Amino acid sequence: MKSPLFVAIPLIASFGLTACMDTYSADSNQKTTQGAVIGATLGGILGASSNDDKLAKAAVGAVIGGAIGGAIGQQLDKQAADLRQDLGNDDVKIVNTGSQLIVTMPQDILFATDSSVVMPSLQSDLSKLAYNLQDYPNTTVQVIGHTDNTGSATYNQALSTRRASAVATILTANGVAPGRVQAYGRGEDAPVTTNLTPEGRAQNRRVEIVITPMT
């Protein structure tokens, strides 16, 4: 006969996965019910399997992992919604990967050609991003510059680094703690599409702000 833990760990993990998939606007009563079911299930498992510490710890880990993942997902959902509302800029792409927010700003709206000075029209958007980051202080921020493959790889690497640093400087100047922010360039090394067309090169010229919750 299978140990109760072997039967119940997948069940617990499924509850954790369900919790992760809830959005921040989900009904709180539903989440409370899920928590009660998980707690009751776990209590029964631990009582029935007190002689198997490893499996008991695995069950606890599954529940805790699901709860942490759900909380992170809800925080990122809310932060993304707040940021979209604050920016109101369709040129800025915001993607929630489930563990990070990736905010992508095309370099063509941030900088003039061959320049690392942020255009005045985008400085206000970066200020709004900085205020959003202050509202969610338990995150780290990576600012990553990217270019297309026009010109030499050495020049593109240096340009992408200067542009990432320029964006990071505006974030910290608007109140984001410098210790939270890391800036670096990738040059032409990480294209998202082909460099063979003008449209593809425009997509590859970008600055990504990667926001990661601290656990």
Taking only the tens place, the pLDDT of each residue in 43-78 is: 555 555 555 665 555 555 544 444 455 668 788 999
Residue 46 lies in a domain: no
The answer to whether the beta carbons of residues 73 and 55 sit under 8 Å apart is no
Residues of 116-147 as b/e, b for ≥16 C-beta within 10 angstroms? bebeeebbebbbbbbbbbeebeebebbbbbbb
Predicted TM-score of the model (pTM): 0.69
Q: What's the pLDDT at 72?
A: 81
Please say if the pLDDT value at position 129 is more than 50: yes
Q: What's the pLDDT at 24?
A: 39
Residue 188 lies in a domain: yes
Tell me how crowded residue 47 is: count the other CB atoms within 10 A of its CB.
10
- The CA distances from residue 134 to 51, 56, 174, in Å, are 47, 39, 9
Q: What's the pLDDT at 143?
A: 98
Q: What are the tens digits of pLDDT across the range 86-108?
A: 998 889 999 999 999 999 999 99
Mean pLDDT of 3-30: 45
Mean pLDDT of the chain: 80
Residue 45 lies in a domain: no
Q: What's the pLDDT at 93?
A: 95
Contacts of residue 196, defined as CB under 8 A and 6 or more positions apart, other chains included, come to none
Mean pLDDT of 194-199: 97
Mean pLDDT of 139-160: 97
* pLDDT interval class at 187 (50, 70, 90): very high
CATH of the domain at 200: 3.30.1330.60
Q: What's the pLDDT at 53?
A: 63
Q: What's the pLDDT at 11?
A: 46
Residue 205 lies in a domain: yes
Residue 203 lies in a domain: yes
The answer to whether the beta carbons of residues 207 and 107 sit under 8 Å apart is yes
Count of domains in the chain? 1
Strand partners, 105: 207
Q: What's the pLDDT at 168?
A: 98
CA-wise closest residue to 209 among 151, 121, 176: 176
Structural domain of 133: 92-213
Mean pLDDT of 20-39: 43
Rounded to 10°, the helix 53-87/120-135 angle is 140
Residue 128 lies in a domain: yes
Question: Which tokens belong to 191?
Answer: 């294209």
Residue 170 lies in a domain: yes
Residue 61 lies in a domain: no
Query: Rg of the chain over CA atoms, in angstroms?
Result: 22
